[in-house]
Chain A
Amino acid sequence: MKKSLFSLAAFVLAGLTVSAQEVKFEEYDLDNGMHVILHQDNTAPVVTISVMYHVGAKDENPERTGFAHFFEHLLFEGTENIERGEWFTIVSSNGGSNNANTTQDRTYYYEVFPSNNVELGLWMESERLLHPIINQIGVDTQNEVVKEEKRLRVDNQPYGRFIENVNLNMFNKHPYKGTTIGKLSHLDAATLEEFQAFNKKFYIPNNAVLVVAGDIDVPLVKKMIQDYFGPIPRGKDIVRKFPKEDPITETIRAKAYDPNIQIPAVVAAYRTPSFKDRDSYVLNMISNYLSSGKSSKLYKKLVDEKKMALQVGAFNISQEDYGVYVLFGLPLGETSLDGIIAEIDEEVVKIQNELISEKDYQKLQNKFENQFVNSNSSISGIANSLARYYMLYDDVNLINNEIDIYRSITKEEIQAVAKKYLNPNQRLILEYLPKKDD
């Protein structure tokens, strides 16, 4: 075994330069400020049409949380030329699929069609932007649907309020303290005029990026884009100003209860910088080092060797303004929650005090390379990445060279970042406990 590993390391060094296929793209602005990115790939007769709007939960009025996500429902209700209830029929009757999703930072809509329906997709997205119908019947219906979505995904799910409680305790001023789904009472209280005003403010071409990717004829698609999106009037520029958080200097201790669980969980959470920050990339590597794969430090020690945890993990909630670095564990048998934290801490302290081994470093590089190759494997995935890198990272080229950032991160940097962010006085310890039956 030793022998094979040795020869392998040599192989790795030799083979490092193999790269994924480069994603070629073309980008430009329409006169109304809408950004356009085109990516041509004719290997399969499939096209993705997507629009990302720079509006998420963090942009909401604090008394009207849930608006951004609510729009993700509302904007399927119909437009001046698409009757209420017809959106999904048009998509599926033309062989397409569509969906949308919302985060703290942005809202994303997309259609995937056989490539002969690219014009249809462009028409639909331009209709949604130009003149959606926002009326009381749509608001009332979607209000009920959103409530059910919350019950389904949050209230009825084991560990469904886990992240919510982390954010609630990590942020005091910044809107990241809330949830994307928002408070249902806010939605109930909202008037139709407020919804219409939100649309006017954020759903404007100069706050959006359109991506068309796949089996396309570029000049033809450019003309269609001009035809459908060109006449849409520019909106008023959006000014964003979010409050800054004070640094955490003392451990925050909190508890939360979940009626849907029997096994508790414990969380150590640290506030980290924006995902654009180089340190955020380093933290992604640390998460991977600690908990990805059976040979990772935390899994091997806590789950495999010491049998203290049923599950253990580390992940970086990466967002535009701040991130949250989360370490968590579910105890096995009699293990105490503090016992899990103590074991996790031991590994974090090791990263802070000594450099990770050369072999572990190489392992991380291999994993990120694998991730990178797989991240560009579908047309719809590429479309999403192009939109995201443009809108939130200000650098579309990351789709091809993000891997270079990881390659350039050194062992010393990993140590420094662990020292900078992952200290006990900078964190939240959350005990996530079963709620006893009444």
Chain B
Amino acid sequence: MKTKILITLFLLSIGVTAQIDRSKQPKPGPAPKITLQVPQEFVLDNGMKILVVENHKLPRVSYNLTIDNAPITEGDKAGTSSLLGAMLGNGTTNIPKDDFNEEIDFLGASLSFGSESAFARTLSKYSERILELMADAAINPLLTEEEFQKEKDKLIEGLKTQEKSVDAVASRVGGALSYGTKHPYGEFVTEETVNNVTLENVNAFYQKYFNPNNAYLVIVGDIDFKTIKEQVENYFGKWEKSIEVSTNVPTANPNVQYTQINFVDMPNAVQSNISLTNNVELKMNDPDYHSVLIANKILGGGFNSYLNMNLREEHGYTYGARSNVGADKYASRFSTGTAVRNAVTDSAVVQVLKEINRIKNEYVTDKALANAKAKYVGDFVLALERPQTIAQYALNIKLKDLPEDFYATYLEKINAVTKEDVKRVANTYFKAENARIIVVGKGSDVLTNLEKTGIPIKYFDKYANPVEKPEFTKPVPSGVTAQSVINKYITAIGGKDNAMAVNTVHSSADVTIEGAPFAPKADIKQMVPNKESMEMSVEGMGVLMKQKFNGETGYIEQQGQKMPMEGEILDNQKSKITLFPELYYDDSFKLSLESLTTIDGNDVYKVKIEKDGKTTFKYYNAETGLLARIEKTVTIGENETTSVVDYSKYSPVKGVQFPYHQIIKSGPQTIIFNITNVLVNEGVSDEDFN
């Protein structure tokens, strides 16, 4: 058996100079020779594979058991595996729990289990007994109802300790949104799912997945191969092989179609946790793997990476900023991560995007590329100090389907990466244009500025469920009432007399319908008290849509099909006051001042208007007095639709202020009106509404 591989180091090597000149950085000495030891191996009849690395430097031994199952989805019983992991290693059907734990502690050793793994460390003089205890605990676990209840209580209580942790929430939401909550890497444990788990579920999990078929035991330390082989055969040989489990790993969520902020509000946060992430198709045996490692190293793989030098050293926004790319067999993400103070959350988002775009659009310098490679060479050498490294490498080759010479050729491949490779893989894997920027922070401090970045924001709760934008209210100054807000509005638009003098309005607008391939023009006419007409046309296609109401009847005509207004729609239209309804608020309108909140960074008063059992919310800019938003929920048949109309860019015509920019959001649809011209009391007649 070939047990050692000699590796060529790609380190600079120049002889040592005799006289020192401290103004010059010393040159490295001759590159050290390194050898990569190869573990010895054997296989048991039950399928368990054993890797042994002898290392006698210290009188100690470690055992590392890994069961290589595909990732498992637990669904509404998420937590089953955590519970199994917590229960394993607490006694066996042969040794009561207290005696078992007492003996491990007595030997000064440690033994711990996961749901598909185990780890033990001991002085070499007790290594056989610890191996025996580990095997007994793995093969004959003591899974009792009492222990189950106890671990369940602890797990639930443990979840509570993380409830207000910004980092814990960021990590949970990041996985859930990226992979989807149906994916094993995206699902998470909650009090509810833990409560769904029974002892039978835990037992079933153990029976199905904790088997020698795909088990690897890695033994490192002060042991002799021949002796340990006999011991392993003796203690693990009786572990019975089980039927192969076939697991279907669900597909991860696709990446989002456009860059977006996914915001989670945590009022206790003093820093925002920001991570930009997209899923990647990358495996360790892909030809791109080494190039991606280098690209990531330069972008955010260390202290002197683009991200850290920008966010920490140049701007002082953060203690650190990093990036990471996974190369898992089943699903992986690219992600950047940083935690910044609330006040610079928006700026940090902008800088993160800037650095990702930099590595995608500009070649890295030769120096940066050489430095990144040198760091990989160094890390490779430094890691060899630990005998576990050799075992880990050998295990990776098996678990991740790598070629046998993966580590022997590792440095060679790292060294072959070019700046063209870096740019290419940055564009393939760092998908800023399809990324979620997950921000977990204190909304009342950070949202106003985040909105100003212009990046669309979607809101989620701490468990990754979509929610409405959280509302942050401020104390209403004394003396402000719903009526005073309305009065201020009337004054702001030009005063009652000017507004009352408006009889008709004729507006022309450029319309953008989100998702539509064409940009129509709209011709809108209004006449007091409630007449309305809108025609939308596209150049070369004629009139697309007509909507008319003459005070009594109305219709909607689309692509030649004419539908009369009926029922609720007609009633709504009849009772509506088209122009400046605020002028007509009397006792039949119930007005109440809800709160002082913000829209797009501006303070606004939210006024609730109730009439005939219908509720509308209107938001008035606290400073200018002008109307900023109307929000109402319309029920048509069984469908409830909330429509939100935002008004901005006010400009006067005949002494009255009109909003030249309107964004209408109704259900999933967004329509933007950019008004190009407004005529008051000109060119509108009754016939226009028929």
Interface presence of B371 (CB below 8 A)? yes
Q: Interface digits, B92-122 against A, CB 8 Å rule (1 contact, 0 not)?
A: 0011101101111111111000000000011
Cross-chain contact A93 with B123 (CB below 8 angstroms): no
Question: Please, how many angstroms separate the alpha-carbon atoms of A333 and B152 in the complex?
Answer: 12
Q: Return the chain A residue nearest B109 by Cβ.
A: A370
Interface presence of A369 (CB below 8 A)? yes
Q: Which of A55-63, A108-116, A172-180 contacts B (4 or more CB under 8 A)?
A: A108-116
Q: Return the chain A residue nearest B166 by Cβ.
A: A156
A157 to chain B, nearest CB (A): 7
Q: Which of A30-38, A81-89, A187-195, A390-398 contacts B (4 or more CB under 8 A)?
A: A81-89
Cross-chain contact A5 with B378 (CB below 8 angstroms): no
Cross-chain contact B341 with A148 (CB below 8 angstroms): yes
Cross-chain contact B32 with A215 (CB below 8 angstroms): yes
| Contact residue among B31, B102, B158, B269 (Cβ-Cβ distance under 8 Å from A295) | B102
Within 8 A of A (CB), among B14-70: 16, 20, 22-26, 28-34, 57-60
Cross-chain contact A46 with B103 (CB below 8 angstroms): no
Within 8 A of A (CB), among B256-310: 267-271, 302-304, 309
Cross-chain contact A93 with B106 (CB below 8 angstroms): no
Cross-chain contact A370 with B122 (CB below 8 angstroms): yes
A121 to chain B, nearest CB (A): 9
Interface presence of A377 (CB below 8 A)? yes
B101 neighbours in A (Cβ, 8 Å) = 293-295, 300
Interface presence of B455 (CB below 8 A)? no
Cross-chain contact B125 with A18 (CB below 8 angstroms): yes
Interface presence of B340 (CB below 8 A)? yes
Question: Please, how many angstroms separate the alpha-carbon atoms of A304 and B87 in the complex?
Answer: 12
In the complex where A44-B385, A94-B378, A373-B59 touch, is A330 in contact with B340 (Cβ < 8 A)? no
Cross-chain contact B20 with A228 (CB below 8 angstroms): yes
The count of chain A contact residues (Cβ–Cβ below 8 Å) is 94
Interface presence of A235 (CB below 8 A)? no
In the complex where A145-B312, A152-B319, A367-B108 touch, is A116 in contact with B29 (Cβ < 8 A)? yes
Cross-chain contact B96 with A1 (CB below 8 angstroms): yes
Question: Please, how many angstroms separate the alpha-carbon atoms of A174 and B271 in the complex?
Answer: 32
B93 to chain A, nearest CB (A): 12
Question: Please, how many angstroms separate the alpha-carbon atoms of A29 and B618 in the complex?
Answer: 79
Cross-chain contact A151 with B108 (CB below 8 angstroms): no
Question: Please, how many angstroms separate the alpha-carbon atoms of A215 and B31 in the complex?
Answer: 12
Cross-chain contact A116 with B11 (CB below 8 angstroms): yes
Interface presence of A399 (CB below 8 A)? no
Cross-chain contact B374 with A92 (CB below 8 angstroms): yes
A398 to chain B, nearest CB (A): 18
Interface presence of A149 (CB below 8 A)? yes
Cross-chain contact A262 with B153 (CB below 8 angstroms): no
Cross-chain contact A45 with B33 (CB below 8 angstroms): yes
Cross-chain contact A116 with B30 (CB below 8 angstroms): yes
Question: Please, how many angstroms separate the alpha-carbon atoms of A148 and B157 in the complex?
Answer: 30
Q: Return the chain A residue nearest B165 by Cβ.
A: A158
In the complex where A93-B371, A310-B161, A379-B385 touch, is A117 in contact with B270 (Cβ < 8 A)? no
Interface presence of A259 (CB below 8 A)? yes
B601 to chain A, nearest CB (A): 23
A43 neighbours in B (Cβ, 8 Å) = 57, 385
B153 neighbours in A (Cβ, 8 Å) = 307, 332-333
| Contact residue among B26, B129, B385 (Cβ-Cβ distance under 8 Å from A120) | B26
B160 neighbours in A (Cβ, 8 Å) = 262-263
A368 to chain B, nearest CB (A): 8
Within 8 A of B (CB), among A61-83: 81-82
A101 to chain B, nearest CB (A): 14
| Contact residue among A97, A118, A227, A263 (Cβ-Cβ distance under 8 Å from B29) | A118
Q: Return the chain B residue nearest A215 by Cβ.
A: B32
A4 to chain B, nearest CB (A): 8
| Contact residue among A95, A373, A379 (Cβ-Cβ distance under 8 Å from B11) | A95
Cross-chain contact B13 with A95 (CB below 8 angstroms): no
Within 8 A of B (CB), among A1-53: 1, 4-5, 8, 11, 15, 18-21, 43-46
Within 8 A of A (CB), among B374-388: 374-375, 377-379, 381-382, 384-386
Cross-chain contact B267 with A437 (CB below 8 angstroms): yes
Question: Please, how many angstroms separate the alpha-carbon atoms of A32 and B13 in the complex?
Answer: 33
In the complex where A20-B58, A151-B339, A304-B150 touch, is A92 in contact with B371 (Cβ < 8 A)? yes
Cross-chain contact B378 with A378 (CB below 8 angstroms): no
In the complex where A158-B165, A260-B165, A261-B161 touch, is A115 in contact with B268 (Cβ < 8 A)? no
Interface presence of B163 (CB below 8 A)? yes
Question: Please, how many angstroms separate the alpha-carbon atoms of A147 and B167 in the complex?
Answer: 18
Cross-chain contact B378 with A373 (CB below 8 angstroms): no
Q: Which of A244-252, A358-366, A411-419 contacts B (4 or more CB under 8 A)?
A: A358-366
A114 neighbours in B (Cβ, 8 Å) = 9, 11, 31-32, 377-378, 381-382
Q: Return the chain B residue nearest A140 by Cβ.
A: B316
Within 8 A of B (CB), among A290-334: 292-296, 300, 303-304, 307, 310, 330, 332-333
Cross-chain contact A260 with B268 (CB below 8 angstroms): yes
Question: Please, how many angstroms separate the alpha-carbon atoms of A263 and B154 in the complex?
Answer: 12
In the complex where A333-B153, A363-B106 touch, is A21 in contact with B165 (Cβ < 8 A)? no
Q: Interface digits, A339-376 against B, CB 8 Å rule (1 contact, 0 not)?
A: 00000000000000000000100110011111101101
A261 to chain B, nearest CB (A): 6
Cross-chain contact B108 with A45 (CB below 8 angstroms): no
Q: Interface digits, B623-644 against A, CB 8 Å rule (1 contact, 0 not)?
A: 0000000000000000000000
**Residue from B106, B109, B163 having most chain A Cβ neighbours under 10 A:** B106
Question: Please, how many angstroms separate the alpha-carbon atoms of A45 and B60 in the complex?
Answer: 22
Within 8 A of B (CB), among A136-191: 140-145, 147-149, 151-153, 155-158
B304 to chain A, nearest CB (A): 4
Q: Interface digits, B300-337 against A, CB 8 Å rule (1 contact, 0 not)?
A: 00111000010011111111000000000000000000
Interface presence of B162 (CB below 8 A)? yes
Interface presence of B597 (CB below 8 A)? no
In the complex where A92-B371, A152-B271 touch, is A294 in contact with B105 (Cβ < 8 A)? yes
Cross-chain contact A310 with B154 (CB below 8 angstroms): yes
Cross-chain contact A119 with B374 (CB below 8 angstroms): no
Interface presence of B370 (CB below 8 A)? yes
B59 neighbours in A (Cβ, 8 Å) = 18-20, 373
Cross-chain contact B341 with A366 (CB below 8 angstroms): no
B170 to chain A, nearest CB (A): 11
**Residue from B16, B267, B309 having most chain A Cβ neighbours under 10 A:** B16
Cross-chain contact B157 with A333 (CB below 8 angstroms): yes
Cross-chain contact A46 with B382 (CB below 8 angstroms): yes
Question: Please, how many angstroms separate the alpha-carbon atoms of A20 and B222 in the complex?
Answer: 11
B140 to chain A, nearest CB (A): 13
Interface presence of B164 (CB below 8 A)? yes
Cross-chain contact B374 with A93 (CB below 8 angstroms): yes
Interface presence of A96 (CB below 8 A)? yes
Cross-chain contact B32 with A116 (CB below 8 angstroms): yes
Cross-chain contact B58 with A21 (CB below 8 angstroms): yes
In the complex where A362-B106, A363-B105 touch, is A263 in contact with B123 (Cβ < 8 A)? no
Question: Please, how many angstroms separate the alpha-carbon atoms of A374 and B267 in the complex?
Answer: 43
**Residue from B129, B160, B378 having most chain A Cβ neighbours under 10 A:** B378
Interface presence of A389 (CB below 8 A)? no
Question: Please, how many angstroms separate the alpha-carbon atoms of A1 and B133 in the complex?
Answer: 12
Interface presence of B345 (CB below 8 A)? no
Closest 7 A/B residue pairs (Cβ): A95-B378, A144-B316, A45-B32, A366-B108, A93-B371, A370-B108, A293-B105
Give me 30 A-to-B residue pairs in the complex whose CB atoms sit less than 8 angstroms apart, sorted by A's number: A1-B94, A5-B103, A8-B106, A44-B384, A44-B385, A81-B25, A85-B304, A85-B313, A89-B371, A92-B302, A92-B374, A92-B375, A117-B28, A126-B22, A145-B319, A147-B341, A151-B270, A151-B339, A152-B271, A155-B271, A157-B167, A262-B160, A263-B160, A295-B104, A310-B158, A332-B157, A363-B106, A368-B108, A370-B121, A374-B58
18 further contact pairs, Cβ within 8 A, besides A114-B381, A116-B30: A1-B96, A43-B385, A88-B303, A94-B374, A116-B29, A141-B314, A145-B312, A145-B313, A148-B312, A148-B339, A151-B270, A152-B271, A156-B271, A262-B164, A263-B157, A363-B105, A369-B108, A370-B123
